[in-house]
Amino acid sequence: MTHETPRPSAAPKSPSELRIVIIGAGMSGVLSAIQLQESGYDNFSVYEKGTRIGGTWNENTYPGLSCDVPSHLYSYSFELNPDWSHRYSPGEEIQAYFENVARRHGIPSKLRLGQEVVRCVFENGRWEIALADGSRDSADVVIAATGVLHHPSVPDFEGLDRFAGPQFHSARWDHSVSLEGKRVGVVGTGSTAIQITTAVVDRVAEYKLFQRTPQWVMPQENPLYSEAEKKLFRDRPETLRALNADIRLLFTEGFSNAVVDADSPQLAAIHEACEANLEESVRDPELKEKLRPNYRAACKRLIISGEFYAAIQRPNANLVTDPIERIEESGVRTADGTLHELDVLVLATGFRVDRFVRPMEVVGRNGVALNDVWEKGPFAYLAITVPEFPNLFMLNGPNGPVGNFSLIDIAECQFAYILQLIERVRSGACREIAASREATRRFDAERREAAKKTIWTSGCQSWYLDADGVPMAWPWTFDRFKDEMREPRLDDFDLR
Ligand code: N01
């Protein structure tokens, strides 16, 4: 697709004259598309490298997949869903929700599925966009909604390719492989591995969970919503809104605001609840000690599960804590010399969280490559904009509040902010807008300082930390985030 490149101009444009490209059709890409349309910006396309929308929920299909944010909170504010089946609904239902919402808002006509953006270059005041199939586009504004937990991290275990049976990363689940009656090994003890464990342990002959680091597990029930409750939500939408508001308050005060204050009483209560869960749920003292972390609860991303401890105590389940030495044809060899024979090996080993828009090549003003700017680690002013990359706005970019809040709430706040930046370009107030270097430096220094108070620096290794051990995530409360997102401080921007 080719578009004629107009000369940059500060004359106001109608919303339809502004060409916008959204990259990614996950939760935040679909949100951007809906909100742009609602605001009258109809000249946009959404490029998605997958063949369906949904992002995370399209890519992750492992058994037991669900969202550990309650479903009535993990919903668009303008599309609350009376029909969620559970407090924490399964992944398939979440995927169907996004597909339904997108359809209802007419987004499919804007989607370019199976189209991967490989390069965005800022030239003559516009973004020139190249796609993997050789086609091109050109836009005044690019919205990068490319996701965070997205690029599988596969450990380079010696001999991994020698394993004779099926093996795959949790985000690339091979549904052609039957687990019934098999000896199955899962590496990792993050949220993913814990969900897989509870879902598959009863289907397999032998289950081995390879744990490098134990996790604190917060018990949570996952009740079904009754038909009567769903009818009430449908008939009286105000009850649904009230439920959403109640859960938001509980989640924000009880967890989100707590993790950024390591001394908070809420964190102490979470730690106690996790300790009590371990004490009460695990019978065998040896297993209990193997499962006991030596760091504080919520230092790593907290595991939410009412079933994991029961699952790992099934007679066919085994927690392996000896380090993995190598992978052999018939299984996993641990450092104590044991060969754990397996038919299927699953790597629930997490994601490369420092990628963001990469591997897409992004080149800003004067030929500066984002990859070089991010050489020491990705950063963005308020998680949205990078100096010298004008009119490029990220949703859930680096240093955002990922991991502690409903990502949908976050994306909605971010989009409202981005829309105000777009509006400045449309109105002719400027042609190009990006955070200034000075404001970005200040923000980065402040967030590094604030990060010292968070629970993530209390003595554990996790995906929150960058290569220098500094938490990458937003280190302040959700209220502060909402305040920041209310209106751009134009002094912090370089407007041209
Ligand atoms: O990944 P993780 P995840 N040898 O990075 C282990 C979200 N999520 O996919 O702890 C041995 O948390 C690693 O060990 P260690 C949620 O935000 C949400 O589980 O580093 N082990 C760890 O145990 C979550 O936090 C939902 O010592 C190795 C595991 O692999 C995030 O996604 C559901 C290893 C990776 O854990 C990521 O979760 C699922 C090695 N070489 C996920 N390398 C919801 O419900 C890694 N490990 C929304």
Looking up residue 166, the CATH number of its domain turns out to be 3.50.50.60
Question: What are the tens digits of pLDDT across the range 195-235?
Answer: 999 999 999 999 999 999 999 999 999 999 999 999 999 99
Q: Are residues 307 and 375 in the same domain?
A: no
Mean pLDDT of all residues belonging to the chain: 95
How would residue 150 be classed by pLDDT, with cut points 50, 70 and 90?
confident
Strands 20-23 and 44-48: parallel
Positive or negative torsion for Cα 162, 165, 168, 172? positive
The CA 415 to ligand 1 mean position distance, Å, reads: 28
Nearest ligand 1 atom to alpha carbon 190? 19
Q: Are residues 398 and 324 in the same domain?
A: no
For residue 404, what pLDDT is reported? 76
Q: Is 195 a member of any domain?
A: yes
Residue where a domain stops, chosen among 313, 347, 381: 347
Any residues with Cβ below 6 Å from ligand 1, and which?
Answer: 66-68, 149, 155, 187-193, 195, 212-213, 301, 324, 348-351, 403, 461, 463
Q: Which residue out of 320, 355, 463, 465 has the highest number of ligand 1 atoms within 8 Å of its CB and is therefore the one to mutate?
A: 463
Concatenating the DSSP letter of every residue in 269-307 gives HHHHHHHHHHHHH---HHHHHHT--SS-TTSSPPEE-SS
The CA 426 to ligand 1 mean position distance, Å, reads: 42
Q: Are residues 327 and 191 in the same domain?
A: yes
Question: What are the tens digits of pLDDT across the range 29-81?
Answer: 999 999 999 999 999 999 999 999 999 999 999 999 999 899 999 999 999 99
The CA 153 to ligand 1 mean position distance, Å, reads: 9
Q: Is 243 a member of any domain?
A: no
Q: Are residues 28 and 70 in the same domain?
A: yes
Q: Is 83 a member of any domain?
A: yes
When divided into structural domains, the chain yields a total of 2
Identify which of 414, 97, 395, 68 has the alpha carbon closest to the alpha carbon of residue 256. 68
pLDDT of 345 over the 90 cut: yes
Q: Is 2 a member of any domain?
A: no
Q: Are residues 36 and 147 in the same domain?
A: yes
Torsion, Cα 395 401 407 411, to 10 degrees, reads -30
Q: Are residues 106 and 36 in the same domain?
A: yes
For residue 8, what pLDDT is reported? 42
Identify which of 203, 206, 163 has the alpha carbon closest to the alpha carbon of residue 183. 206
Q: Are residues 206 and 116 in the same domain?
A: no
Residue where a domain stops, chosen among 322, 347, 372: 347
**First vs last Cα of the chain: how many Å apart?**
28
Q: Is 363 a member of any domain?
A: yes
Average pLDDT over residues 303-326: 98
Q: Are residues 193 and 337 in the same domain?
A: yes
Q: Which residue has the tokens 């086609």?
A: 135
Q: Are residues 25 and 145 in the same domain?
A: yes
Q: Are residues 459 and 416 in the same domain?
A: yes
How would residue 405 be classed by pLDDT, with cut points 50, 70 and 90?
confident
| Percent of the chain's residues with pLDDT above 70 | 98
Residue where a domain stops, chosen among 347, 382, 406: 347
Contacts of 493 (CB under 8 A, 6+ apart): 385, 421, 433, 434, 435, 436, 439
Which of 123-127, 361-365, 399-403 is the least confident region?
Answer: 399-403
Q: Are residues 56 and 172 in the same domain?
A: no
Q: List residues bridging with 304 in a β-sheet.
A: 218
Average pLDDT over residues 447-466: 95
Q: Is 247 a member of any domain?
A: no
* Domain ranges, residue 273: 160-216+260-347
For residue 402, what pLDDT is reported? 83
For residue 149, what pLDDT is reported? 86
pLDDT of 423 over the 60 cut: yes
For residue 374, what pLDDT is reported? 97
Question: What are the tens digits of pLDDT across the range 92-127?
Answer: 999 999 999 999 999 999 999 999 999 999 999 999
Q: Is 13 a member of any domain?
A: no
Phi-psi region of 186 (alpha: psi -120 to 50; beta: other; left: phi over 0): beta
For residue 7, what pLDDT is reported? 38
The CA 196 to ligand 1 mean position distance, Å, reads: 12
Average pLDDT over residues 301-321: 97
For residue 95, what pLDDT is reported? 98
3-class secondary structure, 207: strand
Nearest ligand 1 atom to alpha carbon 462? 20
Q: Are residues 365 and 485 in the same domain?
A: yes
Q: Is 311 a member of any domain?
A: yes
Torsion, Cα 149 419 383 348, to 10 degrees, reads -10
